[in-house]
A = this chain, B = another copy of it.
Amino acid sequence: MVFRVTVNSAWRATRTLCLLVLVSLSVCICVCRAESPPQEEYSAMENIVTEKKAEESHRQDSADLLIFIMLLTLTILTIWLFKHRRFRFLHETGLAMFYGLLVGVVLRYGIHVPRDMGNTTLSCHVNSSPATLLVNVNGKFYEYTLKGEISANEVNDVQDNEMLRKVTFDPEVFFNILLPPIIFHAGYSLKRRHFFRNMGSILAYAFLGTVISCFVIGLLMYGCVMLMKQLGQLGGDFFFTDCLFFGAIVSATDPVTVLAIFNELQVDVDLYALLFGESVLNDAVAVVLSSSIVAYQPQGDNSHTFEGMAMLKSFGIFLGVFSGSFALGVATGVVTALVTKFTKLRDFQLLETALFFLMSWSTFLLAEACGFTGVVAVLFCGITQAHYTFNNLSPESQDRTKQLFELLNFLAENFIFSYMGLTLFTFQNHIFNPMFIVGAFLAVFLGRAANIYPLSFLLNLGRRNKIRSNFQHMMMFAGLRGAMTFALAIRDTATYARQMMFTTTLFVVFFTVWICGGGTTQMLSCQRIRVGVDSDQDNSISIAEGSERRSTKQESAWLFRIWYNFDHNYLKPILTHSGPPLTATLPPCCGPLARFLTSPQAYENECQLKDDDSDLILTDGDINLTYGDITVSTDATGVHTSGGSAFAGAATSDDLDRELTYGDHELVMRGTRLVLPMDDSEPPFTDPHHRLRM
């Protein structure tokens, strides 16, 4: 009875609180509304007038931001309510969008703040728009900074609703403040084991797939636009480059809703890895691709004709920007790993966490300062940090950094989605064209199909663990669009084409997030995709199914094999405390360097350090690790050493083979003894409880 009372009172209380929040939201909006400045005494000192204006502007900005904070708070409370009641049809991002929509409606139709006619229009003769303007007002000089261009109709529209302009953010806010934490967190939380196991496929989907999707959508949209022109439905210019640009921005998937549901229901880890990995990387590809398309500038008068040189240049820009951002991101991750390895910062978690945060942030700034793309750099920085630096952190710092970026990601993501909903009503240059929108939906659908199905077919030729057709259908369905697409679309809305694309993008995002996201659970059951899969069981079943699967197709894992050896033998020992020690693996000429770089713990750790999202761990009985003259071999019977083998500590191909199959087998490491669950001859334990866990 007490429990029921508690639940009822909690429910009533929650309703009350939600009402309170809605009320306070309205109050805030009224505060913003009543912002007509009070009549101040006219003072002879003009700088006081300037100060007051600045102060009012500041108060208004605070009120605007407050609206968003209240929106987010309301979203959080509702999310809790949904989780409490296990309501899976509306995920947090869809919910945030919905609330944004509500507030947008209120702001648009409920409140009207006439334009402040105190804005003076100067008709001065200047040749270009300088970045800074010094205005001489009766002997005093005032500095003005360029905010942006205003379209002519906005200037003349005296019925303009000032309120709407005020809640509009500078689009660069998304790329400079909101997207970096989201992208970094995505990189930092990549489940590396499954990611690396599916690396080839993920790269294929992310690179080839995004480009395919971009061009397919671009071509289809171009056809649609031509048709619209014929039918007189087109009100302005819309070139092929614009279509390609649309294809690029709308190819960035963001299945955050789907992945959250996958996580909750514990769906197949490979599917999760494919979807997550693809979405993380294709964001990066889409950003750089869209920049390259924008940078397409042929020499002639018409900047929209096809020109080989310009196209090569664009392609070169794509490669250059991507590799540069990649390099910077990885470099910063490497530096952080080295710093955390060689200092005893682990003793001071606050310093360690602060350093980690600053170094990750500096990646972004460095990439932006050098003219590359910050979000791509932070992605690869995140992956590098997760792969190397994470192992060097103290356990508390590992938790702290995870939690910090998880929080930032949560706030930024819900902020963007709220803003998306809001923008549907507050953006004043929408161009709503039903034909274009229908065409876009079709193109997006077909573009996704052209991405998934052909590539899956090709990948399955090489993959050991085929991507089944139900997985393909799920991936097709789970191509939700989100934050990145929106940010890319809103970045520049100066032209007719861009405005139409922006409006259409909003609808695409709304549809995919609400309909596809909401229908995920149904789709899972419809496609008969297993849920509640424990990652270990998954493997035991696949192993039981046949040991012939273990026979490696050399090509499928070749690239990965090379990477794995290099990473295991050189990179990890350099950047973390793991073994094998470099003094053993590097040639003798690099002796002093090897000694400098080798951590004392590397001599003790015959194997890589324990990782929560542990990477592929060598588990196999045939591992031979050599330190100097001693060879340590391990198999199920225990560790035994023998002398003098010259084998220098690299894993054999059979080991790797088995590893790819048994990827999830764990290793127990007690001190420096390796206790291995099995060797090749014995079938693994089928009872998961006997499986030794790390």
In the assembled complex, the Cα of A54 lies from the Cα of B368 at a distance in Å of 13
List 26 A-B residue pairs with CB atoms under 8 Å apart, sorted by A's residue number. A10-B342, A10-B343, A20-B335, A49-B129, A50-B146, A62-B366, A72-B354, A73-B359, A77-B355, A79-B351, A83-B348, A116-B131, A120-B126, A120-B130, A122-B126, A122-B133, A122-B136, A129-B142, A132-B147, A141-B151, A142-B148, A142-B150, A143-B149, A144-B144, A144-B147, A350-B406
Assess the B135–A122 pair: CB atoms within 8 A.
yes
In the assembled complex, the Cα of A109 lies from the Cα of B121 at a distance in Å of 41
The contact string, 1 if C-beta is below 8 Å from chain B, for chain A 343-379, is 1110110110111011101101110111100100000
Q: Is A140 an interface residue (CB 8 A)?
A: yes
Q: Is A36 an interface residue (CB 8 A)?
A: no
**CB proximity to B under 8 Å, residues A128-165:** 128-138, 140-152, 154-155
The contact string, 1 if C-beta is below 8 Å from chain B, for chain A 425-446, is 0000000000000000000000
Which 5 A-B pairs give the minimum distances between C-beta atoms? A144-B144, A13-B342, A62-B368, A63-B369, A66-B365
Q: Is A466 an interface residue (CB 8 A)?
A: no
Q: Is A80 an interface residue (CB 8 A)?
A: yes
In the assembled complex, the Cα of A137 lies from the Cα of B150 at a distance in Å of 11
Q: Is A65 an interface residue (CB 8 A)?
A: yes
Assess the A133–B149 pair: CB atoms within 8 A.
no
In the assembled complex, the Cα of A20 lies from the Cα of B150 at a distance in Å of 46
Q: Is A474 an interface residue (CB 8 A)?
A: no
Give A349's nearest chain B residue, CB to CB: B403
In the assembled complex, the Cα of A366 lies from the Cα of B359 at a distance in Å of 33
Q: Is A404 an interface residue (CB 8 A)?
A: yes
Q: Is A497 an interface residue (CB 8 A)?
A: no
**CB proximity to B under 8 Å, residues A326-346:** 335, 338-339, 342-345
Assess the A62–B365 pair: CB atoms within 8 A.
yes
Give A338's nearest chain B residue, CB to CB: B17
Set B140, B354, B364: member contacting A411, Cβ < 8 A: B354
In the assembled complex, the Cα of A9 lies from the Cα of B600 at a distance in Å of 11
Set B20, B124, B149: member contacting A124, Cβ < 8 A: B124
Residues of chain B within 8 A (CB-CB) of A45 are 303
Q: Is A2 an interface residue (CB 8 A)?
A: yes
**CB proximity to B under 8 Å, residues A385-433:** 400, 403-404, 406-407, 410-411
Contact A80 to B369, CB < 8 A, known contacts A54-B131, A122-B135: no
Q: Is A53 an interface residue (CB 8 A)?
A: yes
Q: How far apart are A554's CB and chain B's nearest CB, in angstroms?
A: 41
- How many copies of the polypeptide does the oligomer hold? 2
In the assembled complex, the Cα of A142 lies from the Cα of B72 at a distance in Å of 33
Set B47, B121, B350, B400: member contacting A494, Cβ < 8 A: B47
Assess the B358–A411 pair: CB atoms within 8 A.
yes
Q: Is A230 an interface residue (CB 8 A)?
A: no
Assess the B369–A53 pair: CB atoms within 8 A.
no
Contact A122 to B120, CB < 8 A, known contacts A76-B354, A77-B339, A146-B142: no
Residues of chain B within 8 A (CB-CB) of A72 are 354, 358
**CB proximity to B under 8 Å, residues A26-84:** 28, 31, 43, 45-47, 49-50, 53-54, 57-60, 62-63, 65-66, 69-70, 72-73, 76-77, 79-80, 83-84
Assess the A149–B140 pair: CB atoms within 8 A.
yes
Q: How far apart are A433's CB and chain B's nearest CB, in angstroms?
A: 23
Q: How far apart are A129's CB and chain B's nearest CB, in angstroms?
A: 4
In the assembled complex, the Cα of A130 lies from the Cα of B137 at a distance in Å of 10
Residues of chain B within 8 A (CB-CB) of A534 are none
Assess the A343–B122 pair: CB atoms within 8 A.
no
Known interface pairs A5-B600, A10-B343, A50-B128; 6 further A-B residue pairs with C-beta atoms within 8 A, sorted by A's residue number = A46-B129, A69-B358, A73-B362, A76-B351, A120-B134, A129-B142
Residues of chain B within 8 A (CB-CB) of A122 are 122, 124, 126, 133-136
In the assembled complex, the Cα of A460 lies from the Cα of B296 at a distance in Å of 78
Set B43, B59, B411: member contacting A371, Cβ < 8 A: B59
In the assembled complex, the Cα of A172 lies from the Cα of B54 at a distance in Å of 11
Assess the B149–A134 pair: CB atoms within 8 A.
no
Set B53, B128, B136, B350: member contacting A123, Cβ < 8 A: B136
Assess the A131–B365 pair: CB atoms within 8 A.
no
Assess the A133–B134 pair: CB atoms within 8 A.
no
Q: How far apart are A178's CB and chain B's nearest CB, in angstroms?
A: 15
Residues of chain B within 8 A (CB-CB) of A149 are 47, 50, 140-143
